[in-house]
Structure 1
Amino acid sequence: MRRGKASLGFDENTLFFAAGICALAVALTILSVWYQNSRDRFLLWGCLGMILLGTGAVVYYAGPLPLATASIVAFTLESIGFILLILGSRQISGRAIRGRFLIFLAIAVICATIFPILAGQTGTGTAIFNLTSALLLVMTAKEYFHVYREAPVSVTGMIALYVVTAVSFFLCGAVILYDRQWVMTTIPSNWAENINAITVIIGITGIGALSLNFTQSRIARRHANDARTDSLTGLLNRRALYDMLTDDELQLGDSVVIFDLDAFKSINDTHGHIIGDRVLGSFANVLRSHVRSEALISRVGGEEFVLVLRQKPNSEVLSLADAIRKAFEATVFEALAGDFSTTTSAGIAFCTPGDRDFQTVFHRADAALYRAKNLGRNKVCTELHNVA
């Protein structure tokens, strides 16, 4: 992105100026979306990056500054803008943000660009800016491979646009080096600049649109997940459990375990609902720590939890349920009224050849849970006998 001539014709300089304005417009659009979805912080970094890129282009192509001064200001702004795009893309992928590395990278790129310009070799600095811009764009594109499965079409489009734009910047730098234009008194104008001007406009608008599409698909998935998840424990809610078992019915060898926290109402009455919520969350963590990922874990309401196990021997199911009971019993909770521990009861039902649906097995497990409660709580019962 480079400064323009005095001519008002539609040459590459006018196109670059238009690209700068376009980047600012896209940034404002992204900013408005981020304002409504502040959890997606990558939008903020993308917005700031676009603002710096657009501002740099306007300064370079329309500003009254001398070429060397305009180059230093514009290339610095745009280099930081590209770094912010990398930062945003790393937040999208959920990978660790290496802050020190990005700061070092920004300083290195800016110094490599402006030092030759300060030495009077504006062409050399411009070539380095183009080549480093290509590198930064490729680094940004690379991050999107980590989220390809989330939205294959949008992500593929963004990767393609980043790579194509990177190639166009590389060509601009390569042409300057090939022609040995170490010193420049005017903004570069050649076939590579023409390609870059068109590519930048397409890239900015395309990446902006695809980023918004990606964000909307992410928001939709988040809402769908929220509708299926218990907000307190992060487990499946009742609706999600029943929906999943409608699509994937129980089979012979599967089992259902219902847990109910003993005297939970008294915990809320004695220690308050905040402590009660902590107890529920702790039990959810106990379940997660004892159960493999293929099992279904759900909080179906209040202090009641359901565990659906697939193809496990009855003895193993019994041992697992009792291990969960013991682990929870050993958990100590801190409270103003004094530290305390609590217990859970469980009822187990095994899927038989005559069972047609989850509801049938669930009712038998619920009956077993009722027996466990009547036997004094802190028990694990099956349909036939008391286990612990």
Structure 2
Amino acid sequence: MTRHQNSIASEALKGRAATSRDSGRFERFTRADFSDGWDIAEDVIVERTTVSDEVPRKAINYVRSPDLPFDRSINVYRGCEHGCIYCFARPTHAYLGLSPGLDFETRLIARPGIAQVLERELRARKYSVATMAMGTNTDPYQPVEKDRQITRDVLKVLQAFNHPVGIVTKGTLIERDIDILSKMAAERLVRVGISVTTLDPRLSRKMEPRAPAPARRLETIRRLTRAGIPVRVMASPIVPALTDPELEAILEAAKDAGADAASYIMLRLPLEVSPLWQDWLDTHYPNRATRVMGLLRDMHGGKDYEAAWGKRMRGEGSYADLIAQRFALATKRLGLAVKTPPLRTDLFRPPARAGDQLSLF
């Protein structure tokens, strides 16, 4: 396969997974980075992260998918600096007129004020409580959260309302919020999913360049569970012929760290993710590219990706069945094949505000 026409000099891409900022699928014109022949080392511009703000009109995003165990979510950031090359959320940047490639991991959008919008929505008379999901699109604990603290603001609102929440993250910054999460966990109002894709730090640095190292994520599982916060390990995504040999080892390491449940999803390559992934694969693992893509296509009827419900998460066929069997055997042996109890919804109460009339009953 050929490299992206818009590839950028490698010196500028330290800590980045994508190598191009190809235009999104909605753009009429194609943008291209090119050399005019006058490039010298001193002129290389490193791809820095920029953050702009968006005034949120709504906080809760309702979803209707039989593949998902939730029907609502909150996304406090658009784009993700972790830069995981395989991220299925990359195509969402195209809706903003930005590239699902480099723009997704370098041009972030924060949503300050979303906690106040969320509070307004939770107070609506017609609101019916159910578990809120965070981290289903982009990571709520990516590096920018350290300064912005928007995720923490949202958690404070959810805690005040006794609202259940499920959090998915690779970010160790979640440890900062143990004070909130441990209290919510004591009321069975929170569960956390920690994604561990590989135990190989070199592979992780190439594939998810600004995410915490695998060993550090395992330590996060340990610290959360010691604080009484239940954690599920997410062996996701499983990459055929690249990370799949590690499946049992990942589950064992997470169990040793304190995880009480597990899940997995196969690598998904929707829309612009497929060419980005194949370019990355051709760059870092050219000798495995044919095997990886061959197995993926076998699971999706000859296509890079099948978006149909019931098929997109785990694929079909002999290889998909083999991974499912391995996962089932390993989780049963490790005591991770458990159905976790649902989070509580009966405690939900809008907190009183200054000036509210007190009830007589």
- Interval containing the TM-score (normalised by the shorter chain): under 0.3
Provide TM-score, normalisation by structure 1: 0.19
Flag the structure with larger Rg. 1
Q: Which has the higher helix share?
A: 1
Which structure would you say has the larger RCO, counting Cα contacts within 8 Å and 6 or more residues apart? Answer: 2
TM-score normalised over the length of structure 2: 0.20
Q: Which structure has greater strand proportion?
A: 2
